[in-house]
Structure 1
């Protein structure tokens, strides 16, 4: 089921070699949402030419050249003007990063910028499986009420890509926390039922603090999966210096793609 409006995915890119990750992961995500791909690149004509050539050689056999858009900018941080519309007047639905900073301090700066995005974002793993398709989306559900906001985005994977959805509920020792998990599950369950989605609810063994890691392990065992999480809304001092939970989840050793939804109340508009 394609989206009703023309849509695109923003990919900040400063290295033509990232086409490998785009081919292995990004291509299937774009197809899942029937979206074009808009590259946000530095104002460098040589890079633009090299990127176009590699895309034509590596990806065009699988998808038309007409699927790609290019925006040259002095900054690779998606600005509000870029996020709202591209030159083809297409709605931007997510930001996809084909590469990840190597130095830890650079990673901290990157995640701090990413948390200001008004749309979900995903970092493409650097591994190269023979085939990967987003057939299964696992959503860890904790006691945090912000998890409810991620549910609508998870539903889009089911509605537009027919992805199988699993809600993995945390297990808590304390009654209040366990009650909050149950409330979140009930809210999401009613939402998915109203959308006539096929989904399953599983009880995890981990608490809210570790339920995302359990979801990653499950996704890695099954393959063709991604994990959808809500990012940290309010940073602690530790988060600023050591990185929030989502930074460490993105860097998971299993190379499971992590779909990150920044908790906001009024800014997610995928279809009208």
Structure 2
């Protein structure tokens, strides 16, 4: 980033009206920065995420990042946005650190920016998803041309796979902690087996959200189980959702290694931040 490290960041008036949730957790939002592939929008949006969750913002820099620039950026953000900001200068490559960070820190999520097919890790989207596929902590990818938005609305599509229940939990976290409204896009299903999976997932969703008195709406669509996710991202953009939740595969096949995972194209086309939640054999619980 060089001389752009202290790029002036202006936040809207509504930022200063965000009420930080009461929490005794030492949560951290990790913003992954890079000298060459990074965009100020990611810093601004990360500040909003951290304040909305009552979390510390940690700037995570690779070994080659200028230490003086990191200090200046920390001081700039701390002094201007009334936020607890720290820095972490890695002494090992980023991809090695990511393998251990989820268990070492109380991380809520990682954040990286991207433009076209390059992320702020200095690699393409496919390789970024590959490095994160075993993570216990989701990754939020922010397009360089995204609009700055509060966490008023979060969106997701709910399909028939049992792993989709992880999105139900994360939707509840945004609603409970950041007071977000949850928008769920539902596909049209004809297959009997798919219908059973859908029924299970939507029963779990409505039972949890109703029990917690969360603000949510289910939108019936004409999209199939195969097109619902890509189409829903377009709908979420029109509905002014601030973030869209997707699942990403933990296990890759030969086609994923050659052409990249299917999620890559969803992310490249998106105009809003995408939270990538790795599929897991057990549910990751952020809070009780």
Q: TM-score range by the shorter chain?
A: 0.7 to 0.9
How far apart, in 1, do the equivalents of 2:231 and 2:267 lie? Answer: 14
Asked which structure has the greater RCO (Cα within 8 Å, sep 6+), the reply is: 1
8 Å contact 1:7–1:34 — kept in the other structure? yes
8 Å contact 2:156–2:183 — kept in the other structure? yes
Offset at residue 55 of structure 1 (A) = 4.6
> In structure 2, do the counterparts of structure 1 residues 58 and 11 end up closer, same or farther at CA, with 3 Å as the change threshold?
closer
Offset at residue 203 of structure 1 (A) = 1.0
8 Å contact 1:16–1:50 — kept in the other structure? no
Partner of 1:270, secondary structure, is coil
TM-score, structure 1 as length reference: 0.86
How far apart, in 2, do the equivalents of 1:54 and 1:69 lie? Answer: 9
1:246-261 → structure 2 map (5 Å cutoff)? 246-252=263-269, 254-261=270-277
1:13 maps to 2:33:
yes
How far apart, in 2, do the equivalents of 1:193 and 1:52 lie? Answer: 45
8 Å contact 1:40–1:73 — kept in the other structure? no
Offset at residue 136 of structure 1 (A) = 0.7
Partner of 1:124, secondary structure, is strand
Partner of 1:94, secondary structure, is strand
Aligned to 1:230: 247
8 Å contact 2:31–2:110 — kept in the other structure? yes
Aligned to 2:68: 49
1:165 maps to 2:182:
yes
1:137-156 → structure 2 map (5 Å cutoff)? 137-156=154-173
Offset at residue 251 of structure 1 (A) = 1.2
How far apart, in 2, do the equivalents of 1:58 and 1:37 lie? Answer: 10
Aligned to 1:61: 80
How far apart, in 1, do the equivalents of 2:241 and 2:46 lie? Answer: 13
Aligned to 2:18: none
1:25-36 → structure 2 map (5 Å cutoff)? 25-36=45-56
Offset at residue 227 of structure 1 (A) = 0.8
8 Å contact 1:141–1:169 — kept in the other structure? yes
Q: Once superposed, what is the RMSD of the aligned Cα atoms?
A: 2.6
Partner of 2:66, secondary structure, is helix
Aligned to 2:5: none
Q: Which runs of 5+ in 2 are unaligned?
A: 1-20
Q: Which runs of 5+ in 1 are unaligned?
A: none
Partner of 2:80, secondary structure, is coil
Aligned to 1:79: 98
Offset at residue 267 of structure 1 (A) = 6.1
How many pairs align? 264
Offset at residue 128 of structure 1 (A) = 5.0
Aligned to 2:145: 127
Offset at residue 19 of structure 1 (A) = 5.7
8 Å contact 1:12–1:39 — kept in the other structure? yes
209, 214, 220: which one pairs with 1:203? 220
TM-score, structure 2 as length reference: 0.81
Offset at residue 186 of structure 1 (A) = 1.2
Partner of 2:185, secondary structure, is strand
Aligned to 1:38: 58
